[in-house]
Structure formats: structure tokens, C-alpha cells
Amino acid sequence: MAGSVFVSGATGFIAQHIVKQLIEEGYTVVGSVRSTEKGEALKKNVGDKFSYEIVKDIQEEGAFNEALKKHPEVTVVLHTASPFHFKATDPEKELLLPAVHGTKNALKAVAEFAPQVKTVVITSSYAAIAPADKEIDPTFTITEETWNNISWEDAKANAFSGYRGSKAFAEKAAWEFVKTEKPNFVLSIVNPVFVFGPQAFDSEIKAELNTSAEFINNILKQKPDEELAAFKGAFIDVRDVSKAHILAFEKPELAEQRLLLANGRFAAQDVADILNTKFKDVLGGKIPVGTPGSGPEVTSKLAKIDNSKTKKSLGFEFASLEKTVADTVQQILDVNGGI
């Protein structure tokens, strides 16, 4: 089923894997990027099947109109662009508004200027699915049906609630758009938990990585006597996330679904245990050890995640924590020649 796919935010961590995989599968890709420099850097890595349009800021009214008008060959739109960081000092301005307006702008542009597009897939998040107060309730089960119903006011409170709110409000705006505008396309949503795994290209290994990969990179930057961060959650490998985005438009039965991408819980201790065992020769004595084996005790206090519906409909096995962590770190060590 080759054709032409538009990927917003094409230079992002997840999007680069999507672009790479789409091209490997015979698609041509038009990406939106924020600068010529970033577009050229990606083109150098993926080749001539990739072209790009500049969209400096997704929240500007009509941000995607020109880009889509120029590409009548595009029949699928994957909207991945959205701010993902926990550094905002003004969460409304830096996270909530760009995420919501960016999503609305993408959908409006497709409906108005790309009526040939049949499917839109949006990268939402577990952040839109998990109610904040339930995350630490082990009796609660999170599924494709649950929602983070945070209020706009509460979302403005800090960078974390700002990011979580940005994904919830953006996804709600997308479903609302489809319900009220009844556009020509069907909508599918991908809701990943923390996404780990290698960068799509070695050239993307920088001192600081994208937000989710940096959680692992950060352990490599810690001194052995430092305490491990109280970081915990659920994980999925980035290559599984890109595969799910592609299946989301290739498999008609995934239309109008929320795909909850998760392959289990983890705590920072589990990551440290993998690093201290698998990379003992290189990392032994250089990074924190923590309390080996105590990760499951931490994660047993968190809500359960049941994404059996998603797993069944996608029909492929997700990568293990060992693999996703090991591949993330191996690439960093290879590119940097150690730590």
C-alpha cells in the first residue's frame, strides 16, 4: 500500500523513526519541519523519497494550509508535532496552547485543503489516558477507554500537569473536530507511554537527548554515589511506536481507535539494573547501583495497565525493557566512545 504520507514534526525522536520506516516500506514522505537546516539534516539521513515544508510554529492560524495545498499526492497525514518537555515556566503558553491549536490547525488544513486525505493519525499520549490521581492507585486499571480529565486551570499549575493537559486537551479537540465537522478522513489515535529506544540515526546522539530518551541518558551522567531519580512509569520501544503509526492507517479496523502502546511498568531501578548487568564492563562502578531488584516493589504501587485490545489489534510483539534500554545505551556508547 505505498503512497505519499505527510508527517508533521518530522525531525522529532518518534517522527524520524516513522519517516525512516515509511521510506523502507516504499512510501514517499512529506515532512513538516521548523527550519531548512533541520529538513536538510533529515533528508541527508533518509534520502530523496523525503521532502519537507517549513512550518515554523504549528499554533499559528493556518500553519499547515500551504504545506498541504502543495501536496495533492498526500493521502495520509500523521500529526506528531507537539511540544514535549517538562521545562515550561508558562505551561499554558508553551504547552497547552501550541498542542491544542497545532492539532486543530492540522485537522482544519486537511479538511479544507487536502480532501483526498483518507486517514489522519495523531500522536497523543498515555498522558491523555491516565487520570493523574489514579496513577498511584494499584486497584485502578487504565485502558483505551480511560481519560485524563484534568481541568485547564489545573493543567496550568506546572510543567508536568501542563504537558499532561496539553495531550488530553489536544486529543479531545481532535475527536470533537471529527464529530462536529464530519470531514472526509477517519481519525486514529496513538497513545504511547514513555518511549525509549535508539535514535533513528547516530547523528541525533547529542549531549542532551529528547525528553524520554534523556531519562536513560541521565543515569549515564550520574555519579556512582548519587541517588537514582524517583523516575517510574510504563515503557514502549520507539520502533514499536513507529510501526503502530503505520498500521494505524494501513489496517482499516484500527480507524477511530485509541492505541494504548505500553509493554509494562518500569522504575529507574530496573533501568539501572539492566545497565549494571548488561554493560558491566563499561559502566560498572561509574553509575549508581541503587538497590538492585527493588524496581518491582516500586511499580507494584502503580495503577494496572490493560492494553490487551491494542495488542490484539496490532498483532505484533512489543520489545522488552531489556532490549529497548540496551539499544538506547549501546548507541550512546558507540557514538560517544564510552561515557
CA angle, residues 288, 291, 297, in degrees to nearest 5: 130
Terminal CA-CA length for the chain: 43
Closest residue by beta carbon to ligand NAP: 12
State yes or no: residue 249 binds ligand NAP (CB under 6 A).
no
CB of 83 to ligand NAP, least distance (A): 4
Over the range 106-136, which residues count as b (16 or more CB within 10 Å of their CB) and which as e?
bbbbbbebbeebebbbbbbbbbbbbbbebbe
Rank residues 123 and 217 by Cβ distance to ligand NAP and give the closer one. 123
Q: Judged by CB under 6 A, how many residues of this single chain contact ligand NAP?
A: 26
Q: Whole-number minimum distance, CB 142 to ligand NAP, in Å? A: 14
From candidates 14, 244, 247, 332, binder to ligand NAP by CB under 6 A? 14
- DSSP E strand stretches across the chain: 4-8, 28-33, 50-54, 74-79, 119-123, 141-142, 186-192, 194-196, 232-237, 258-261, 265-267, 304-305
How large is the C-alpha radius of gyration of the chain?
Answer: 20
Give 70 or 280: the residue with its C-beta nearer to ligand NAP: 70
The answer to whether 106 touches 76, Cβ cutoff 8 Å, is no
Do β-strands 4-8 and 74-79 pair in parallel, antiparallel, or remain unpaired? Answer: parallel
Q: Is residue 101 close enough to count as binding ligand NAP by CB under 6 A?
A: no
233 binds ligand NAP (CB under 6 A): no
Q: How far is the CB of 208 from ligand NAP (least distance, A)?
A: 11
- Cell 512510501 sits at which residue? 27
Of 4, 119, 125, 263, the one binding ligand NAP (CB under 6 A) is 125
Q: Does 84 sit near ligand NAP (CB under 6 A)?
A: yes
Classify the phi-psi angles of 290: left when phi > 0, otherwise alpha if psi is within -120 to 50, otherwise beta.
Answer: left
SS3 state at 329:
helix
Closest CB to ligand NAP among residues 67, 283: 67
Give the per-residue contact string, 18-57, with ligand NAP (x = CB under 6 A; - = no). Answer: ----------------x---x----------------x-x
Contact string (CB under 6 A) for ligand NAP, positions 179-208, x = contact: -------------x-xx-------------
Binding stretches for ligand NAP (CB under 6 A): 9, 11-15, 34, 38, 55, 57-59, 80-84, 98, 123, 125, 167, 192, 194-195, 210, 212
